[in-house]
Amino acid sequence: MSAVHLAAPLVPDSGWDDLVAELPYGLVLHDEDGSVVVANASAAELLDLPPHQLRAGTNPPDWRLCDDSGSPVPSMPELARQIGRAGSSTTVPFVVTRADKPYRRLWADIHPVTHRGRGMTLMVIRPVESEPARCLLDPTTGLPHRALLFDRIEQSLVRARVHGTRTTLVLADLCGLGKINRELGFDQGDELLALLADRLRSGLRADQTVARYTGGTFAVVTDHSSGTGEHLATRIREVASGVARVGDRELHPDLRTGWSTSGGDGTVLRLVSQAETRLLEY
């Protein structure tokens, strides 16, 4: 089974087949609308989809992508669109189910890319068992990265469903990180991120998960009995504020926040999407 070409002008040349057709992990390239441009044989095999259905973005009636609890996650085209809008890479764990029964657990590393001036999304798919030692901590801050964050969100949602509590996710983005990196250098930017990570870990409750979401964006997950995420968002901004000495400079970090809250009836990616929307509106 060879690699698929749906839009020949968008791919470099026919050598793509030779390069990726037999790779042990799946590759799927989506355009800005979430449609599949090209995919290799391993992607169809790992997803347990006929190649023509993977190309067309259609699924068998009994086929779904779910999280560990069995709740459906957004479709692959919607995942691609979300990552394209966010402009940053992510790792998503999901389960392929058939007739509501787990079939295969997968990692999907999703990256925004540009090809010939067009924004696209590259999805790299691997079976979970192929990477049992995948690192779960961000090396810059020592915080959990997105794969572990998503697992913590799912655990909180399970508790919310069982105990009648609520789950809140807050995304907190460091304003002006790009300017800091340009003017002071990436080492100084990383030093500031590490300092803010320490402030958040020490300033928030021990049972609240603090993670690095992406780039200059942190994430905090918490269980609570009632209310929304507004109070936690305010607390995060307070904890992070104050003069930060980086090298020989004094900086005044400012975080913008977006939050989402669920009673347990939502999914991980729905919670993330809602928090991202609020963050963009901040």
Give Cβ neighbours of residue 200 (< 8 Å, ≥ 6 apart): 172, 210, 218, 220, 236, 239, 240
Query: Is the pLDDT score of 17 beyond 90?
Result: no
Evaluate whether 82 touches 74 at the Cβ level (below 8 Å).
yes
Q: For residue 18, is pLDDT > 50?
A: yes
Cα-based angle 4, 5, 8 (whole degrees, multiple of 5): 170
Q: How many CA within 13 A on the CB side of residue 23? A: 19
With cut-offs at 50, 70 and 90, classify the pLDDT of residue 197.
Answer: very high
**Chain center to CA of 62:** 26
Q: What is the mean pLDDT of residues 172-193?
A: 90
Maximum mean pLDDT: which of 88-97, 98-107, 129-138, 173-182: 173-182
Q: Which residue has the tokens 């989402």?
A: 260
Do 263 and 160 meet the contact criterion of CB atoms below 8 Å apart? yes
- The answer to whether 89 touches 110, Cβ cutoff 8 Å, is yes
Lowest mean pLDDT segment, chosen from 17-21, 78-82, 129-133:
129-133
What is the distance, to the nearest Å, from the Cα of residue 98 to the centroid of all Cα atoms in its chain?
A: 24
Q: What is the pTM of this model?
A: 0.57
Lowest mean pLDDT among 83-92, 181-190, 226-235, 254-263: 83-92
